[in-house]
Structure 1
């Protein structure tokens, strides 16, 4: 089951202000990722505040720290102001470039697939849906390029909508 802050059936336009985020409703930590995020740019300082706010609201818990790949983002701040606190931002070269990790107060960290901003709407929406549908045994690259998946090659994996 998927919770999407932007419904998959809605057209996504470049100037649309809705956050393009999907989270697995269960967040059972069995999948490769817990959802996906499709930022509009690679500017971490501009994009992270809305992501942090949306995840805070969705989970009713505070994001405490963000971990991301240093070479995948521009303008990475050390901290992001959020609801009466400062969220620390850590950057690494050892992390997967298309993943972002959110440490949450009182919960296990959440791993989100980051869909490149330049991705066309159709493939991005499919990746948002697949990432939130359950990704046991699916690599992040397979979510970003679902045509590479062979039908039924990964047991228990939901295929993106046609």
Structure 2
């Protein structure tokens, strides 16, 4: 079963801004009204852990759905492969920051205006049922739920992040 598109992909007017959105082609769900009390603003289920391949379509979709301009993205260094310093986007280059002190289960998008958006990342190899349940759940209001709570409700293990890289190909610590 594939998540259904709950709204039109174009930015919505203020009267319909509270309608949750799921983009089934990108496997992305967003709660359209940022809630600083919620731990995540949505979920993204990428097809791979290749940041250079996956991030351009995420940037384009989030910019379109939220009617914002993504300037930077923060990812966990040990979880992603092929992390470029910048990703080309419509008329600009989006800076990619990689960190080790962040939760490896999330990705953060920072915009020219407005609050950042934090997305729970479902690992690419996750079974469709739990992944789709996570997409649908985070398109709703998750105020008061932790990431572990969301994963429990969606039937994903709390430690669902892939194994961390550990060392570089030359044997040195990363």
Scaled to the shorter chain, the TM-score interval is 0.7 to 0.9
- CA deviation after TM superposition for structure 1 residue 148, in Å: 6.6
- CA deviation after TM superposition for structure 1 residue 138, in Å: 1.7
Q: Structure 1 residue aligned with 2:152, among 106, 120, 145?
A: 145
**1:8-87, aligned counterparts within 5 Å?**
18-87=25-94
Give every structure 1 segment of 4 or more consecutive aligned residues whose post-TM-superposition deviation is greater than 3 Å: none
Q: Is the 8 A contact 1:3 1:24 kept in 2?
A: yes
**1:136 corresponding residue in structure 2:** 143
- CA deviation after TM superposition for structure 1 residue 121, in Å: 0.6
TM-score norm. by structure 1 comes to 0.80
TM-score norm. by structure 2 comes to 0.75
Aligned to 1:133, the other structure's residue is in SS state coil
Structure 1 stretches lacking a partner, 5+ long? 7-17, 150-162
Structure 2 stretches lacking a partner, 5+ long? 1-18, 157-174
The number of equivalent residue pairs is: 138
